A = this chain, B = another copy of it.
Amino acid sequence: MAKAITPREENYSEWYLDIVKKANLAANSAVRGCMVIKPYGFGIWERMQRQLDDMFKETGHVNAYFPLFIPKSFLSREAEHVEGFAKECAVVTHHRLMNDPNGGGVVVDPTAKLEEELIVRPTSETIIWHTYRDWITSYRDLPLLINQWANVVRWELRTRLFLRTAEFLWQEGHTAHATADEALEEALRMQEVYATFAEEYMAMPVLRGVKTANERFAGALDTYTIEALMQDGKALQAGTSHNLGQNFAKAFDVKFSNADNQEEYVYATSWGVSTRLVGGLIMTHSDDEGLVLPPRLAPTQVVIVPIPKPNDALNAKARELMDELKACGVRVSYDDDDKQRPGFKFAENELKGIPVRLGIGQRDLDKGTIEVARRDEKTKSNQPIEGIVDHVVNLLDEIQQNLFDRAVRFREEHTTYVDTFEEFQAVLDRDIPGFIHAHWDGTTETELKIKEMTKATIRCIPQDQSEEPGKCILTGAPSRGRVVFAKAY
């Protein structure tokens, strides 16, 4: 029931979990930190996948699949990468179970110990670059533009459905190039693909920026990020794209002979987004009545509710409307349950975030109108049946745009420019702190100190920002431009 959702004001984190659970998006499983993605939640992820996959293919990428397991020794190859990833992960040590000789079910067969332990991939750079060694010999083999849809595992201590789970679903692009410039271009191109997806499909505005050395991906030269602002004023890193330079090529000895027949190490990128995006989607748009979905990603865009109950005439009208809407590419369903009252159904449909609800009652129909309710603004109006399909199609676009505009407005209202540490702290102490643009002296030392003092991290150094000399809010040392701080997920 919609009523049982904890209001955001009361407890944002409970509100989030209530939405995830009551809208049937996901649930915790019997395995610590691993979630079950329920059909409705998976339907949203499927739409994200399909759209991203199309965008990857339009930019020249193909899909492939690499092993789930990584030999332990691979993680020792790239020095920084091992620091970043070879920590909390699932380690396979045996390959057989046997019946317990004492009758207690199954036990691990001690004789089936692996010679070398296998790690369940936390990310696939190492196994993929080991493979690329066999695939690349000449500049004619480049660029290699490959993506993989996969599950990965990072043994997180604190987990939260979609936002941070031990196992999650994602895509990881891994590309190989003949020049440093091409790799840089690719990393930036994919950051922009992510930004476009976030803004045009998720209706979630994002900042585009570069990560600091401290926040960058283990083994990368630079990490490009898109950062979104959630309704509680915390940032969500929504996607990252890494320019890996020649680091992985060197670690896995991947060389190519260039057009002048000289051997050179290959240049690389990697980039990924995950089921975390579903969490970001929820926290960007939803309200105390439940989920709010942008029409482009909603599994059901329009629901038709018969008022007060289904009957032959209303069913026929609904069927007719559905056919017309489907012909226009609208995903529509008919809520023909005859046991529940309209009020109950309205609340259910709101909880599920269905963008548009059409109420059809005999009295309205006789007057030639239909009740149209929009989920984003929770408003209703009576519309003429004549032209209703066009009206709905346009309304879906309007809702998509409105959600984006609303999120942009929210971000603007929660973006602050501060010049002193006092101001900085004051903004962070607000209920909804948001993005803080402030000067920083460029050192990891200062960055870590600020994090320790305030829990705020540097989300990114914005890419579209003009230079503006200033003084670091903590040390007063000179700065070339503001960076964006926030508390983050």
Contact = CB atoms under 8 A, between A and B. Distances in A.
A321 interface: no
Contact of A76 (B71, B95, B106): B106
Q: How many copies does the complex hold?
A: 2
A35 B127 CA distance: 11
Interface in A1-41: 27, 29-31, 34-39
B105 A118 contact: no
Interface in A161-176: 167, 169
B97 A108 contact: no
A395 interface: no
Contact of A42 (B64, B73, B93, B118): B64
A165 to B, nearest CB: 9
Contact of A75 (B74, B91, B92, B97): B97
Contact of A89 (B35, B42, B95): B95
A72 B97 contact: yes
Interface string A462-488: 000000000000000000000000000
A62 B39 CA distance: 6
A65 B42 contact: yes
Interface stretch (A80-88, A381-389, A409-417): A80-88
Contact of A97 (B63, B91, B94): B91
A66 interface: yes
Nearest to A73: B105
B146 A65 contact: no
Contact of A91 (B94, B146, B150, B151): B94
B93 A94 contact: yes
Interface in A111-166: 117-120, 127, 130-131, 134, 146, 150-151, 153, 155
A29 B66 contact: yes
A127 B108 CA distance: 19
A93 B108 contact: yes
A96 interface: yes
A36 B82 contact: no
A96 B89 contact: yes
Given A30-B67, A92-B93, 6 more contacts: A30-B74, A30-B131, A36-B65, A68-B151, A72-B107, A91-B108
